[in-house]
């Protein structure tokens, strides 16, 4: 009833040339009319089909009821819609209308929309991934078969040296017999609390050989979190080392096996293989992931799940690619399953590192052929320019993989380098889909791997059309047993697979995605507050639950945001009680008692009140953007005092994106983490021409301490005071781009 132009004038919507204001889709229904047209004296009339040459809106649907039938025509913007997509929409409407006529009393949500051909394509054709599985029923049997084939080949490389398959097998057999003597067998959980080394790998194999399942415990986790995991899992035995045993809660009642103290008893056991006790349906491990209620949940993975992953890895990657796999992921993170077990069951070697950033400094760096890590870690390795030439395959998972990183890798690695984007939750045994990424190619997570299936469903668990966004479900041989001691949550997330007659289960990932016309799956983010930061799956609710326990906090919220460099960080928003100020450092120390380092917010912002939605929930979109400034109290600021401190403070400013850096500020208290530490060390190497290991920043986390370490490394001849190093044009120096800004590195100082 109101002219369109008048509506636009009154409502004044945001104007753009890309689409019409107010709405972009129009539905027009023409009522029934006589086919012969109106009766006029001396004039005969009939209907004429008009063809529009342009589209006023993104999409216009014309329905015409002729009395005998309903005609449907779409007019669309070809810049937004492919003709094939429009044809599919027309066929979907035809299927829906036909079903309505056939069964008018049925709920619309239960009526079909896909043609039989498209339904078969998305549910069957694109999920035809069945492949033969090995005859071995358990992971330990797979390893033993490989050890029998290649007993003298190197199986593991670590700080303890090189162990052959024979040595690793015999060591794990002796330990397995010792564990069996303590009652370890099928369905018995054993805590694994060991530093990253060959002994850690022998411990995993020993627990599996004994028939038990391991519960990984990271020595870097807070004591309270370790105690919770042990108590929740009811682990009867804990495998550990002498220097770590004191961190365990003695009141939990678990039998503690200390590798050093019990070495005499372990070494007396026989080194031959044990009779297999664990079957395919027995537990292999339980990995704890972040929980939205503040309580971590243990994912129960059976041997058949892990065997399916190993079988895919052995078939998909060549023997050369698996010859030296970097094992850099914490055993508490499911990427470690691929890094450790796939090479050991394929004749390759697991090369153990503290983390992926240690790769360039490993003695065996030139033997690494495959790197399996998260995109953020690979980004830092690329920035350092120290990725070994021996690496020919890169698996990236756990985070969204940016096309720019793919392009950089392929440019630097040449035609022989293969880059894969892998997707999968812990509940589906590490990986569900895989895509080989090529330069300038669209970003997808690919197709399901062997013996896995992917469904894109609506909220009624019906498959959605190609190109339509829906909930991402995974099914097949990797679907885990469920959550330990959480039957309600298991029933909510692990559902009966309606497309396999209900005989199998599928897992609701909580992710959004859609099928592309070629069958590739496009990942479109989360449905809830779960986030991925540096590859770790984090429930924001768990951090908020821990933060809310602080006595001075009235309300709090946590959000994940990207800074200008693309680095994703956690930010805490806090409303305090009237009791007085609380510093960010105090909050970080408080959280460190219960949360691991990767779950500690890098910055805290203090608010008068949290923004709320109309229904009283926290409005996360309205949380203010953090300002790039020094977050600590100004009276704690101490300015740089030496040229070395000045240069280091400048590096910290660039990496942390904080305007003022004092020499007593702690790098990690200011929001630094291991990936940013790699940038600091790389730039310090360039600026001072010294070889610094990554651990230097962990041991000397302030500007003053790191400057002292650099002075010591340079020696007495280089240690005298020098004037501040001024920026120099790299073009003038003849070493590359016009400015240091283009490279992210500072120019090297002149020789004394």
DSSP state string for 667-717: TTTTT--HHHHHHHHHHHHHHH-----THHHHHS-BHHHHHHHHHHHH-TT
Mean pLDDT of 25-40: 72
Residue 728 pLDDT more than 50?
no
CB-count exposure of residue 73 (10 Å: 0-12, 13-18, 19+)? middle
Among the listed residues 43, 102, 51, 99, the one whose alpha carbon sits nearest the alpha carbon of residue 75: 51
Q: To the nearest whole number, what is the mean pLDDT of the chain? A: 85
The total number of residues shown for the chain amounts to: 752
pLDDT at 478: 96
Residue 223 pLDDT more than 50?
yes
Task: Provide the pLDDT confidence category of residue 36 given band limits of 50, 70 and 90.
Answer: low
pLDDT at 580: 65
Among the listed residues 440, 431, 472, the one whose alpha carbon sits nearest the alpha carbon of residue 455: 472
pLDDT at 613: 66
Task: Provide the pLDDT confidence category of residue 635 given band limits of 50, 70 and 90.
Answer: very low
Residue 134 pLDDT more than 90?
yes
435-470: per-residue pLDDT in tens? 999 887 788 999 999 999 999 999 999 999 999 999
CB-count exposure of residue 661 (10 Å: 0-12, 13-18, 19+)? buried
191-201: per-residue pLDDT in tens? 999 999 999 99
Task: Provide the pLDDT confidence category of residue 743 given band limits of 50, 70 and 90.
Answer: very low
DSSP 661: -
pLDDT at 720: 44
Q: Quick one: angle between helices 165-181 and 198-209, nearest 10?
A: 50
Mean pLDDT of 166-186: 97
Which range, of 391-405, 451-465, 481-495, averages the lowest pLDDT? 391-405
Residue 158 pLDDT more than 90?
yes
Three-state helix/strand/coil letters over 279-345: CCCCEEEEEEECCCCCCCEEEEEEHHHHHHHHHHHHHHCCCCHHHEEEECCCCCCCHHHHHHHHHHC
Tokens of 727: 């920026």
Mean pLDDT of 530-542: 74
pLDDT at 7: 86
Ranked by mean pLDDT, the top range of 284-298, 411-425, 508-522, 683-697 is 508-522
Q: 466 forms bridges with which residues in the sheet?
A: none
Q: How many CB atoms lie within 10 A of CB 442?
A: 12
Which range, of 251-265, 272-286, 354-368, 683-697, averages the lowest pLDDT? 683-697
588-634: per-residue pLDDT in tens? 888 888 888 788 888 888 888 888 765 566 777 788 877 644 444 44
Residue 513 pLDDT more than 60?
yes
pLDDT at 745: 40
Residues 6 or more apart whose Cβ sits within 8 Å of residue 261: 242
pLDDT at 383: 78
Q: Give the whole-angstrom CA distance, residue 636 versus residue 288.
A: 39
**What 3-state DSSP class applies to 624?**
coil
pTM score, two decimals?
0.76
| Dihedral-angle region of residue 165 (phi above 0 means left; psi in -120 to 50 means alpha; beta otherwise) | alpha
């Amino acid at each position: 009833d109101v002219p369109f132009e008048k509506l636009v004038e009154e409502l004044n919507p945001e104007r753009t040339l890309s689409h019409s204001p107010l709405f972009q889709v129009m539905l027009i229904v023409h009522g029934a009319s006589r086919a012969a047209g109106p009766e006029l004296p001396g004039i005969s009339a009939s209907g004429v089909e008009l063809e529009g040459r342009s589209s006023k809106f993104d999409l216009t649907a014309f329905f015409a009821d002729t009395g005998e039938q309903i005609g449907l025509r779409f007019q669309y913007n070809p810049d937004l819609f492919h003709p094939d997509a429009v044809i599919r929409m027309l066929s979907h409407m035809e299927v829906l209308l036909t079903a309505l006529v056939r069964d008018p009393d049925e709920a619309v949500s239960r009526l079909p929309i896909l043609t039989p051909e498209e339904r078969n394509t998305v549910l069957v054709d694109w999920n035809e991934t069945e492949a033969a599985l090995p005859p071995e029923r358990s992971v330990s049997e797979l390893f033993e078969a490989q050890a029998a084939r290649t007993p003298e080949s190197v199986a593991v490389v670590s700080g303890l040296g090189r162990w052959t398959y024979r040595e690793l097998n015999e060591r794990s057999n002796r330990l397995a017999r010792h564990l069996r003597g303590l009652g370890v067998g099928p369905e018995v959980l054993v805590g694994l609390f060991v530093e990253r080394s060959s002994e850690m790998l022998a411990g995993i194999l020993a627990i599996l050989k004994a028939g038990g399942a391991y519960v990984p415990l990271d020595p870097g986790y807070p004591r309270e979190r370790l105690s919770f995991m042990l108590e929740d899992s009811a682990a009867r035995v804990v495998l550990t080392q002498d220097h770590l045993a004191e961190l365990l809660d003695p009141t939990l009642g678990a039998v503690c096996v200390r590798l050093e103290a019990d070495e005499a008893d372990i070494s007396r056991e026989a080194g031959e293989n044990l009779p297999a006790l664990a079957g395919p349906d027995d537990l292999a491990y339980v990995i704890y992931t972040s929980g939205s209620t503040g309580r971590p949940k243990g994912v129960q993975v059976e041997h058949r799940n892990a065997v399916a992953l190993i079988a895919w890895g052995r078939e998909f990657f060549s023997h050369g690619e698996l010859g030296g796999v970097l094992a850099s992921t914490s055993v508490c993170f499911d990427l470690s399953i691929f890094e450790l077990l796939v090479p050991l069951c394929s004749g390759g070697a697991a090369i153990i590192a503290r983390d992926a950033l240690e790769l360039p400094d490993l003695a065996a760096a030139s033997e690494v052929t495959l790197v399996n890590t998260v995109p953020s870690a690979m980004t830092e390795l690329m920035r350092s320019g120290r990725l070994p030439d021996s690496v020919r395959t890169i698996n990236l998972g756990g985070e969204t993989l940016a096309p720019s990183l793919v392009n950089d890798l392929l440019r630097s690695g040449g035609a022989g380098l293969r880059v894969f984007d892998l997707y999968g939750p812990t509940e589906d045994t590490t990986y569900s889909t895989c895509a080989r990424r090529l330069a300038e190619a669209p970003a997808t997570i690919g197709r399901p791997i062997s013996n896995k299936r992917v469904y894109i469903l609506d909220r009624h668990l019906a498959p959605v059309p190609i190109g339509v966004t829906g909930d991402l479900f995974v099914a097949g041989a990797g679907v885990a047993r469920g959550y330990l001691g959480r039957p309600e949550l298991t029933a909510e997330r692990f559902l009966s697979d309606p497309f396999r007659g209900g005989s199998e289960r599928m897992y609701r990932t909580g992710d959004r995605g859609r099928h592309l016309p070629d069958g590739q799956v496009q990942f479109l983010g989360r449905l809830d507050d779960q986030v991925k930061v540096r590859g770790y799956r984090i429930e924001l609710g768990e951090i908020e639950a821990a933060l809310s326990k602080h006595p001075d906090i009235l309300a709090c919220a946590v959000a994940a945001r990207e800074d200008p460099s693309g680095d994703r960080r956690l930010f805490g928003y806090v409303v305090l009680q009237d009791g007085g100020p609380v510093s960010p450092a105090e909050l970080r120390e408080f959280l460190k008692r219960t949360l691991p380092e990767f779950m500690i917010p890098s910055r805290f912002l203090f608010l008068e009140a949290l923004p709320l939605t109309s229904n009283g929930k926290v409005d996360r979109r309205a949380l203010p953007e953090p300002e790039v400034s020094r977050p600590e109290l100004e009276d704690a600021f101490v300015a740089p005092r030496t040229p070395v401190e000045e240069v280091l403070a400048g590096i910290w400013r660039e990496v942390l994106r904080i305007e003022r850096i004092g020499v007593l500020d702690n790098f990690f208290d200011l929001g630094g983490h291991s990936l940013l530490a790699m940038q600091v060390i790389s730039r310090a190497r360039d600026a001072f021409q010294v070889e610094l290991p990554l651990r230097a920043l962990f041991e000397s986390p302030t500007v003053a301490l790191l400057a002292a370490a650099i002075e010591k490394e340079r020696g007495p001849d280089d240690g005298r005071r020098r004037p501040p190093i001024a920026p120099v044009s790299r073009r003038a120096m003849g070493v590359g781009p016009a400015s240091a800004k283009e490279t992210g590195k500072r120019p090297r100082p002149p020789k004394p």
